[in-house]
Structure 1
Amino acid sequence: MATKDKIEVRDLTKQDIELVADYWLTSDRDFLMSMGVDLHKLPTREGLTHMLLSQIQTPDPEKASLALILEINGIPAGHCNVNPIRYGQDATMHLHIWHSKNRKKGLGTSMVLKSLPVFFDRLDLQILWCEPYALNPAPNKTLETIGFEFIKKYVTVPGAINFEQEVNRYKLIKETFEKIKYTSTGGIQ
């Protein structure tokens, strides 16, 4: 990531649906498996399209999922989403950088830091969870860098498209998020 790159997150739009579907359906199989994805559980393009359209059209308090698109200099490059959501309580976060050329550059950290205010404020969250595959070092490093609290390592099927795997469970509470927001911006936004 060049220091002059403009990194932003924004809501998922209808125009992004094909990009998100392409990420899931055309990414390298080994890469997907390294994230803990069971290739046999991936939805069809039609299924992804229906789910994402529904997300866009549903009011925040009723959403099962909320996705934000990462843009680098105005070009979509990844997504950060939460699902499931218990509005006013908690949600589980997932983060994805779409192209290998953008990985291992600190973009995941920037994306999460920019996504946290949206998730906490719009969904009125008290707790944000994240359970990355224990054998996938990138998201684990990102969460630790940001200040998520490591809770435990355990075996589970963390999501609808995953195989049974060992995950690291992390937690970020609202009070800690407020401190992160304050220190990462040099003051209150």
Structure 2
Amino acid sequence: MSSINNKLTVREFTIDDVNFIVDYFYNATDEFLLGMGAIKEKLPKRTLFYDIIYSEVEKKYRNKNLYYIIWLLNNEPVGHSHINKINFGKEAYMHLHLWKNPNRQKGLGSAFVKETLPYYFKNFQLENLFCEPYAENPSPNKTLLKVGFDFVKGYETIPGTINFHQKVNQYILSREKFITLFS
């Protein structure tokens, strides 16, 4: 982190956070989205995207399709992590996003991920947490290794509805390793 005076916290998302998440994607430049393996034209209509996320806020953990954790720096929202492909009690797939460039590449991502992981493992009783970042996006790949995820494999796929065909790196953090590292 750039300063020891920074107060880093995380929390579950609320209805008030939905616009932050939607704005992050819709206000991003084409170049930025390409850097994370996404294409603006593949984003759902803004209102649909909002409704999809909004609909998840009040669901019980067992029924969620998406689950977001908001990252705060000095009490200001600066990013988020979320999981999808949730198989309650078994596995989910994590995504991580720092919203603005000045907050990137300062070690914040690793610190935020460490604070976020307990929410995923506890609330969804996960055995395994996966993450599959775009192979050509170095930041999340470095962050995952730094936090303790294990590299599984690299492969080509279209990882999500907003992504193009690309090489991704698959990482895993097992419940057992999570407990060992973070207890």
- Same fold judged by TM-score > 0.5? yes
Sequence identity of aligned pairs in percent? 40
CA root-mean-square deviation:
0.8
CA–CA separation in structure 2 for the residues paired with 1:17 and 1:65: 12
1:163-184 Cα distance to aligned partner (Å, 9 max, x none): 11000000100000011112xx
Runs of 4+ in 1 over 4 A off after TM superposition: none
Amino acid paired to 2:33:
L
State the shift of 1:77 in Å: 0.3
For 2:153, the equivalent position in structure 1 comes to 152
Distance 1:58 1:46 in 2: 19
Q: How many residue pairs are counted as aligned between the two chains? A: 182
Q: More displaced, 8-17 or 89-98?
A: 8-17
Give the aligned partner of residue 82 of structure 1: 83
> In the aligned structure 1, how far is the partner of 2:127 from the partner of 2:107?
26
Equivalent residue letter for 1:43? P
How do 1:170-185 residues align onto structure 2 when only pairs under 5 Å count? 170-182=171-183
- 1:185 alignment counterpart: none
**1:100 & 1:43 partners in 2: Cα distance?**
24
**TM-score normalized by structure 1?**
0.94
Q: Which runs of 5+ in 1 are unaligned?
A: 183-189
Alignment of 1:1-189 (within 5 A): 1-182=2-183
Distance 1:53 1:169 in 2: 28
Task: State the shift of 1:38 in Å.
Answer: 2.1
User: Runs of 5+ in structure 2 lacking a partner?
Assistant: none
Aligned-partner residue type, residue 137 of structure 1: P
CA drift at 1:139: 0.1
Question: Structure 1 residue 135: deviation in Å?
Answer: 0.2
2:37 partner SS = coil
Look up the equivalent residue of 1:140 and give its one-letter code. Answer: N
**Partner deviation per Cα, 1:121-177 (whole Å, 9 max, x = no partner):** 000000000000000000000001011110001000111111110000001000000
